[in-house]
């Protein structure tokens, strides 16, 4: 409770433990124990237990519509709580911090940056009830930091889907298929679809399929966290 109060009053409090930290970030102690995701499938960012990254069995058997995924963290504590704060309690300090971490990882790669960021859209009814799209909040910070264009209007969610955490992969795939429409701004471009969490990847796969149909050339997925 005191930690929560301190975090609210003191802008320089660590976003996780409320100890001393640079404003809007986490302290050195918390940072050292974050669940980073360094060894993962290059296509879907599934965390791997091996020494080196390789394409996972699922992507090898059934390649998704996107080309690659960058996930800063595994979806585990304390990242899970940080994302819950963003998603359900409008804690935009969390999205700024998570976005900054993702932007740093993206900037450190050798591959060229995308030309356009597209946050995974919420259905209009979900957007109305939540009041904001957490994926857009995350993408805003990344776009600013990396000077990449952000387009939150070119993709729309046609159908309301249930919150997917807890559903099995088959149910998710069935539910999301054909749930998105993507406009012509993506034609001929290298884009990154941005979301807070990737669970099985069926949502972004469906959005990527729509982006591909609209002419996107290269499609990356950038997420703060990947469910192991
Ligand atoms: Zn801390
Ligand atoms: Zn994979």
Q: What is the pLDDT of residues 21-74, one digit of tens each?
A: 988 899 999 999 999 999 999 999 999 998 999 999 999 999 999 999 999 999
Cβ atoms of 67 and 43 within 8 Å: the answer is yes
**36, 61, 156, 200 from 20: Cα distances, Å:** 21, 47, 41, 36
Q: What pLDDT sits at residue 17?
A: 92
Beta-bridge partner residues of 195 = 223
Per-residue pLDDT of the chain (228 residues; tens, 9 = 90+): 556 565 555 567 899 998 999 888 999 999 999 999 999 999 999 999 989 999 999 999 999 999 999 999 999 999 999 999 999 999 999 999 999 999 999 999 889 999 999 999 999 999 999 999 999 999 999 999 999 999 999 999 998 766 555 566 666 555 567 899 999 999 999 999 999 999 999 999 999 999 999 999 999 999 999 999
> Do residues 24 and 14 make contact, with C-beta atoms less than 8 angstroms apart?
no
How many angstroms is it from 73 CA to the middle of ligand 2? 15
- Write out the CATH class of domain 34-226: alpha beta
How far is the centre of ligand 2, averaged over its atoms, from the C-alpha of 126 (Å)? 29
Distance 9 CA to ligand 1 centre (A): 16
Instruction: Give the ligand whose atoms come closest to the C-alpha of residue 18.
Output: 1
Starting from the CA of residue 40, give the closest ligand: 2
The CB density around residue 70, as the number of other CB atoms within 10 Å, is: 20
CA 119, CA 122: separation in Å to the nearest integer?
9
Q: What pLDDT does residue 177 have?
A: 74
pLDDT recorded at residue 182:
97
pLDDT at position 110, please? 83
Cα of 129 from ligand 1 centre, angstroms = 32
Q: Could you tell me the residue ranges of all domains in the chain?
A: 1-33, 34-226
The per-residue pLDDT for 160 is: 76
Q: Which ligand neighbours the alpha carbon of 13 most closely?
A: 1
Predicted pLDDT at 191: 98
SS3 content of the chain, % helix, strand, coil (to 5): 40, 20, 45
Across the chain, where does the E strand assignment appear?
68-74, 116-119, 149-150, 155-157, 180-182, 190-198, 218-226
CA distances in angstroms from 115 to 49, 147, 148, 191, listed in the order given = 32, 9, 6, 6
Output the CA 57–ligand 2 centroid distance in Å. Answer: 7
Contact between 180 and 156 under an 8 Å Cβ cutoff? The reply is yes
Predicted pLDDT of residue 151: 97
What is the average pLDDT value for the chain, to the nearest integer? Answer: 91
């Amino acid at each position: 409770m005191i930690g929560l109060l301190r975090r609210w009053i003191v802008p320089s409090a660590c976003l996780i433990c409320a100890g001393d930290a640079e404003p809007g970030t986490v302290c050195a102690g918390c940072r050292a124990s974050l669940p980073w995701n360094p060894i993962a499938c290059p296509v879907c960012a599934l965390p791997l237990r091996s020494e080196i990254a390789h394409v996972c069995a699922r992507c090898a058997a059934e390649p998704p519509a996107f080309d690659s995924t960058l996930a800063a963290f595994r979806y585990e504590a304390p990242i899970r709580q940080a994302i819950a704060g963003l998603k359900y309690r409008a804690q935009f300090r969390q999205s700024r911090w998570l976005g900054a971490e993702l932007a740093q990882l993206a900037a450190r790669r050798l591959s060229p940056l995308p030309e356009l960021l597209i946050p995974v859209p919420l259905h209009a009814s979900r957007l109305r009830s939540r009041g904001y799209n957490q994926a857009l909040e995350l993408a805003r910070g990344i776009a600013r930091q990396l000077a990449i264009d952000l387009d939150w209007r070119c993709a729309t969610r046609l159908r309301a889907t249930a919150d997917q955490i807890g559903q099995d992969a088959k149910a998710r795939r069935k539910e999301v298929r054909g749930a998105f429409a993507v406009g012509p701004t993506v034609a001929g471009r290298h884009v990154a679809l941005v979301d807070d969490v990737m669970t099985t990847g069926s949502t972004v796969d469906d959005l990527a399929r729509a982006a591909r149909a609209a002419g996107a050339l290269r499609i990356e997925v950038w997420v703060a966290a990947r469910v192991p």
